[in-house]
Amino acid sequence: MRISSLAEAVSLIPDGASVMIGGFMGVGTPEPLVDELVRQGRQDLTVIANDTAAPGRGIGKLVAAGALRRAVVSHIGLNPETQARMIARTLEVELVPQGTLAERIRAGGCGLGGILTPTGIGTLVEEGKRRITVDGRDYLLEPALRAEFGLIQAFLCDYLGNLTYALTGRNFNPLMAMAAETVIVCAEHIVPTGVIAPDHVVTPAPLVDHVIACG
């Protein structure tokens, strides 16, 4: 784990990269990292996240900046800018049922090839997907999700890189920290090793590559 500056950490992310961004409608989203992506003018990103938040908030800033080529999300209902770009076909959007999205990310972090789920059978979700029958019940095969970078918001980070999360900020962040090749953490508080008890660690240090103090 390395403590880095905001600009330095975000400079590692090239145009066209795949990026997982934690948060749920902006709660638990590392806003400083998103702001720096916009400031550095990133383009053609593929973002994997729960949603695209709202205009002026979280991932919504990336949408407004035209930084995204593709978004893999569970909903876009509160961001009319995402909807307009999707309709205009300037942004590719893959809508994934929320539980399926979480499980696909978890599967990626656990080294699995995918998951089997009954969600979406007989709907538009099924189009182009493989149906598998197990013990007489049909499932869709959904591939695991991984990304080149994971942008994570943590409440506490110790000097080793162990992380804890605050309340609902513990949404997609821990899963994405497992499923990204390079993990960049925006930590509200950096504390001495030992302040976070071992059994309170949610994301262990070996998963963390860069930490930015964002408190």
Could you state, in order of their start, the residue ranges of all structural domains in the chain? 2-112+145-213
198 contact partners, CB below 8 Å, separation of at least 6: none
E strands, the chain, where? 2-3, 18-21, 45-48, 68-73, 92-95, 114-117, 131-134, 137-143, 147-158, 163-164, 180-191, 210-213
The number of CA neighbours under 13 Å toward the Cβ of 174 is 17
pLDDT band at 169 (very low <50, low <70, confident <90, very high): confident
Classify domain 2-112+145-213 at the CATH topology level: Glutaconate Coenzyme A-transferase (3.40.1080)
**Rounded-to-integer distance, Cα 65 and Cα 78, Å:** 17
pLDDT tens per residue, range 47-96: 999 999 999 999 999 999 999 999 999 999 999 999 999 999 999 999 99
pTM of the model: 0.94
∠ CA 167-12-44 to the nearest 5 degrees? 85
**Rounded-to-integer distance, Cα 69 and Cα 208, Å:** 26
DSSP class of residue 129? -
207 contact partners, CB below 8 Å, separation of at least 6: 161, 177, 178, 183
Q: State what percent of residues in the chain have pLDDT above 70.
A: 100
pLDDT tens per residue, range 89-139: 999 999 999 999 999 999 999 999 999 999 999 998 899 999 999 999 999
In the chain, the amino acid numbered 178 is: M
Element (H, E) at 34: helix 31-39
Residue 173 confidence (pLDDT): 97
Q: Which two tokens stand for residue 203?
A: 């994301």
pLDDT band at 163 (very low <50, low <70, confident <90, very high): very high
Average pLDDT over residues 129-154: 97
Sole residue written with tokens 């600009």:
7
In the chain, the amino acid numbered 105 is: I
Residue 125 confidence (pLDDT): 86
Residue 168 confidence (pLDDT): 87
Residue 66 confidence (pLDDT): 96
Q: Is the pLDDT of residue 178 over 90?
A: yes
Rounded mean pLDDT of the chain?
96
Query: For the chain, give me the number of helices (H) and strands (E)?
Result: 6, 12
Beta bridge partners of 48: 20, 72
